[in-house]
Amino acid sequence: MLLSISPLLLAALALLGLATGFLAGLLGIGGGMLLVPFLTYIIGLQGVAPGLAVKMAIATSMATIMFTSISSVRAHHRRGAVRWDIAQRLAPGIVLGGMAASLGVFALLRGSVLAMVFAVFVAFSALQMLRARKPSPSRELPGTAGQIAAGSSIGFLSGLVGAGGGFISVPFMTWCNVPIHNAVATSAALGFPIAVVNVLGYVLAGRAETSLPPASLGYVWLPALGAVALCSVLTAPLGARVAHQLPVAQLRRVFAGLLFVLAAYMLWKGLRAGG
Share of the chain above pLDDT 70, in %: 85
Q: Count Cα neighbours of 23 within 13 Å in the Cβ-side half-sphere.
A: 27
| Whether pLDDT at 2 is above 70 | no
pLDDT at 60: 92
Q: What is the band of 32 on the pLDDT scale with cuts at 50, 70, 90?
A: low
Mean predicted confidence (pLDDT) in 41-53: 87
| Whether pLDDT at 80 is above 80 | yes
| Whether pLDDT at 192 is above 70 | yes
| Whether pLDDT at 6 is above 70 | yes
Mean predicted confidence (pLDDT) in 32-52: 84
pLDDT at 73: 82
**What pLDDT, in 10s, does the model give residues 230-263?**
888 788 778 777 877 767 667 667 777 877 877 7
Q: Which of 167, 162, 272 is nearest to 225 (CA)?
A: 162
pLDDT at 83: 93
Tell me how many domains the chain contains. Answer: 1
pLDDT at 1: 40
Cβ 197 vs Cβ 99: under 8 Å: yes
| Whether pLDDT at 199 is above 80 | yes
Q: Is 245 exposed, middle or buried (0-12, 13-18, 19+ CB in 10 A)?
A: exposed
Higher-confidence position of 34 and 152: 152
At position 101, the amino acid (one-letter code) is: A
Mean predicted confidence (pLDDT) in 197-217: 88
Domain that includes residue 25, residue range: 2-274
pLDDT at 257: 80
pTM here? Answer: 0.74
What is the average pLDDT score of the chain? 81
**What pLDDT, in 10s, does the model give residues 212-235?**
988 899 999 999 999 988 888 788
Convert the chain into a string of H (helix), E (strand) and C (coil).
CHHHCCHHHHHHHHHHHHHHHHHHHHHCCCCHHHHHHHHHHHHHCCCCCHHHHHHHHHHHHHHHHHHHHHHHHHHHHHCCCCCHHHHHHHHHHHHHHHHHHHHHHHHHCCHHHHHHHHHHHHHHHHHHHHHCCCCCCCCCCCCHHHHHHHHHHHHHHHHHHCCCCHHHHHHHHHHCCCCHHHHHHHHHHHHHHHHHHHHHHHHHHHHHCCCCCCCEECCEEHHHHHHHHHHHHHHHHHHHHHHCCCCHHHHHHHHHHHHHHHHHHHHHHHHHHHC
Mean predicted confidence (pLDDT) in 7-20: 86
Which residues have a Cβ under 8 Å from the Cβ of 231 and sit 6 or more positions away?
13, 14, 15, 16, 17, 18, 21
| Whether pLDDT at 100 is above 80 | yes
Share of the chain above pLDDT 90, in %: 7
**What pLDDT, in 10s, does the model give residues 120-149?**
877 876 776 677 566 666 677 888 888 889
Higher-confidence position of 29 and 66: 66
pLDDT at 222: 92
Q: What is the band of 58 on the pLDDT scale with cuts at 50, 70, 90?
A: confident
